[in-house]
Structure 1
Amino acid sequence: MTSLEITPEEQVELDKALYDALNPLASAMRSRGSGLSGDRMWEADPIEVALSVLAAWKAVDTEVKRLTAIAAGTAGSYGASYEQLGAVWGITRQGARKKWPDAISRPATAAAHASAVLELFGGTAELTQEPSSGGWRWTGEGADGTHGTPDGDTSYATKEEAAAYAGAFLREHTVDQP
């Protein structure tokens, strides 16, 4: 992939385009907030003027985040990996997965990979992958007969993480030896 850094000239053009797009929004927000007409809106308190610009940037930031998530999802739908998304964004694969959790749909895994059984401390836990989200859950029965599952809709990003929680449950529900 070629360098995705922008040149100084492109930065100047980007800044100009962003300010040109922001100005009408900031002006409308300033006019609404001050109650002054469009031709008198600059007569508002300078703090209020500056805050209206900040509020407009927040609206732009929210929209950029929404559009970024759409772009990440589009790249994912074409087969991009979280590693590739992270590289473009300058973050790790894990960071990209956290930032855009729905960007990449995981293909259905074979049944052998979609579940596992964990036997520890005299108890058993079954680990299962949820088809809709790809997250992992567990259900277990401790050696003392106690049944357990994660609270609510809790699911885990990896099978290993679910196994760790299931293992902790099984350890807590052992049978005391005489």
Structure 2
Amino acid sequence: MRIPHSVTKVTDMMPPEITTAEETALDKALLDALNPLASAMRARATGLPEERMWDADPIDVTLSILTTWKVVDAEVKRLTAIAARTAGSYGASYEQLGAAWGITRQGARKKWPEAIDRSASAAETSFIELCGGSAELSRDPSSGGWRWTGQGADGTRDEADSASHYATKEEAAAHAGAFLKEHATDGR
């Protein structure tokens, strides 16, 4: 059963939790990676050799570690943006990116505005003709899902309602086809 994205709440988008053992291992790995970088950055800033980093005033040492975490934070943000763009290039929607990060669709769009190439998404359009009517299927740039608009053989025009974004082009085509069949002039 497909849940419309309008039903998703921020509280439903909880980030995945890690176990205490995983957190301990992650902390160790991050500290092991941080130490050589902090030593090198402190040595460049002070002119002292790396092995003397810990001999300085504790405030200076801890501030240099804080500065190093800032560098790491900027790098994590850069790598996160690359991951979001990569997911977007494979067809992930802002809704999906937000859910993965524990934020709303709008928050994901604000955080990674270039993650989804709207021009490429907008170019994805297909047409179907059925029962004397026709429908256009297109990818919705805001959600990444598919929508349809159509005109039945009897002249009735309709489209997917604003809350409907179908996961696949085939699903949108099925709904458009049902509309076209319902509005055929010869009862097909």
Which TM-score applies when normalising by structure 1?
0.57
- 2:122 counterpart (104, 108, 111): 108
SS at match of 2:64: helix
- After superposition, the C-alpha distances for 1:80-136 in whole angstroms (9 at most, x for unaligned) are 11001001111000000000001111212599xxxxxxxxxxxxxxxxxxxxxx8xx
SS at structure 2 position matched to 1:33: helix
- Find the aligned partners of 1:36 and 1:96 in 2 and give their Cα distance: 43
- The reply on whether 1:98 has 2:138 as its aligned counterpart is no
1:77–1:103 Cα contact (<8 Å) kept: yes
**Aligned equivalents of 1:94, 1:84: Cα separation in 2:** 11
Which residue in 1 is equivalent to 2:42?
30
- Aligned residue in 2 for 1:75: 87
Q: Does the aligned pair in 2 maintain the 1:27–1:38 contact within 8 Å?
A: yes
Determine the C-alpha separation between the residues in 2 that align with 1:109 and 1:73.
Answer: 18
| AA partner of residue 35 (structure 1) | G
Closer/same/farther in 2, CA of residues 50 and 110 from structure 1, 3 Å limit:
closer
Match of 2:60 among 48, 56, 72: 48
Corresponding residue for 1:9? 21
- In the other structure, the counterpart of 1:160 is none
Q: Against the structure 1 CA distance between its residues 74 and 110, is the aligned structure 2 distance closer, same or farther, given a 3 Å change threshold?
A: closer
How much has 1:45 moved relative to structure 2? 1.8
Aligned partners of 1:77 and 1:104 also within 8 Å: yes
CA distance in 1, matches of 2:97, 2:46: 42
| Partner of residue 87 from structure 1, selected from 95, 99, 116 | 99
Identity of aligned residues (%): 72
The aligned counterpart of 2:33 is 21
Q: What's the TM-score, normalizing by structure 2?
A: 0.55
Counterpart-to-counterpart distance in 2, 1:29 and 1:109: 47
The answer to whether the 8 A contact 1:82-1:104 is kept is: yes
Q: Within 2, Cα distance between the matches of 1:19 and 1:97?
A: 32
Q: Which sections of structure 1, spanning at least 5 residues, go unmatched?
A: 112-133, 135-178
Q: Which has the higher contact order (CA 8 A, sep 6+)?
A: 2
> Contact between 2:39 and 2:51, CA under 8 Å: does it hold in 1?
no
CA contact (8 A) 2:95 2:104 kept: yes
Decide whether the 8 Å contact of 2:41 with 2:68 is kept in 1: yes
How much has 1:32 moved relative to structure 2?
2.0
Q: CA deviation at 1:41?
A: 2.1
Partners in 1 of 2:124 and 2:116 — Cα distance? 18
